[in-house]
Amino acid sequence: MAEEDKQLNIDELMMHNFASTITKSCYANIIMPDIGPVEIDKYTLDNGFMSVDIINYGSTITSIRLPDNDNRQSDIVLGFDDIHGYMSAKNPYFGSIIGRVANRISEASYEYNGFKHYLSKNCGPNTLHGGVRGFDKKIWNAQIVNHNALWMTYTSPDLEEGFPGDLEVIAKYVLTHDNYLVLRITASTNKVTPVNITNHSYFNLAGHETGSEGLYDHDLKIFSNKYTELEQEFMVPTGRVLSVKNTAYDFRKFTSVGDAIKNTEFKGIDINYCFAKDTLKTIARLKHPASGRSLQLYSNQSGVQLYTSNYVENIQGKKGVVYQKHSALCLEPQGYPDAVNIKKFPSPWLYPKDIYEHIIVYKFRVEKLADSENEPEKQEAKGKEEKEEAAS
């Protein structure tokens, strides 16, 4: 059975992986304009092989440390050394939870049942990633549950950034003994509201410090043959769904990230790929052959945004590293962008008494250190790939 075929029991992953531990420490003390003095905490999930740091400012993944083939540890996500970086205007959503609605909403507005809702503008005339102060800029409540799960909660009040209804959000994190980082996001509301929540980690499996040189050496496969077309001025969808064939967006087979970016004249990629919704499936695989590190991404949502950090410029990151264009890539599982305004796109609406659920699973692997019994690297199943593409 190929890696893509492996069925995940999410309840089992979330409840029965006691080999990992979670420790809590103080990350920073800050003053928030609306609530006063606040302690920001850091939670470290560690399974003895890899570890993940998460802070409750923005429910943000600040570090993922993973060995390479030679057992040398590297931090494989972009970020900052301290809270001031995460709170700065130059933070391009490093590692944070994005909401209430990820990606762009055209004209910062939408109509529902004849009523026009106006949202905050923070990207030209549009709303991006939840508005001026989205979930990435909020203090989340955090608790360790059953010693091995981290739960973070945030309640977004009615009309925050213009969105209707109180929205109660829970983000549950588990790092399993076999290197699955599971993120299960649920939400409920008392009014009809659009919801599209994701995580915005920037991955560079060569190490966060290796920049574009490291990123270009990655190979990427995305299990989709369609994408949502964008108009070029403000990067909002036209409503058309197009084939990836004969475009720089074609990752149906493992493709060099560097070659794909080169095919865009080094402008980079920032596009949403289309999937069947509501089934947990492999949506992408990322490999860095030189280090042996790989990432397999699962989601139950209808899209994933591939973004090759095209607008990252002179950002002072961790350990004195200055991040530049194409220093990492994001794979952001999501609903379709601007689905509030394009009726033929999969529905973004959450209704009272219903539950929004987004499951994201990051499966990490190191080629030479993998357990040959538990993590077999077998030939990919052609029939499975065709099935995934047909469902797109």
Can you name the residues that pair with 167 across neighbouring β-strands? Answer: 156, 189
H or E stretch at 44: strand 36-46
The whole-angstrom separation of Cα 280 and Cα 18 is 23
Q: How many residues does the chain have?
A: 392
The whole-angstrom separation of Cα 34 and Cα 286 is 40
* Residues of the binding site for beta-D-galactose: 103-104, 200-202, 270
Q: With the CA atoms of 177, 143, 183 and 164 taken in that order, what torsion angle do they form, in degrees rounded to the nearest 10?
A: 170
Query: Which residues have CB under 8 Å from 72's CB, separation 6+?
Result: none
What contacts 24+ positions apart, CB below 8 Å, involve 33-37? 35/139
Matching residue, tokens 């040959």: 372
Which string of DSSP letters, residue by residue, matches 185-222? Answer: EEEEESS-EE-B-EE---B-TT-GGGHHHHHTT-EEEE
Alpha carbon separation from 232 to 53, 126, 131, 235 (Å, rounded)? 36, 14, 21, 5
- Catalytic annotation, residues: 200, 332
Q: Which alpha helices (DSSP H) does the chain contain, by range?
A: 10-15, 83-87, 211-215, 257-262, 382-391
Hey, what are 192's tokens? Answer: 């009809």
Rounded (5°) CA angle 180-186-187: 160
**89 burial class (0-12, 13-18, 19+ CB within 10 angstroms)?**
exposed
DSSP 352: T
* Residues of the binding site: 103-104, 200-202, 270
By C-alpha distance, which of 93, 95, 60, 125 is closest to 338?
Answer: 125
The whole-angstrom separation of Cα 153 and Cα 40 is 14
Q: Quick check: 308 and 215 in contact, CB under 8 A?
A: yes
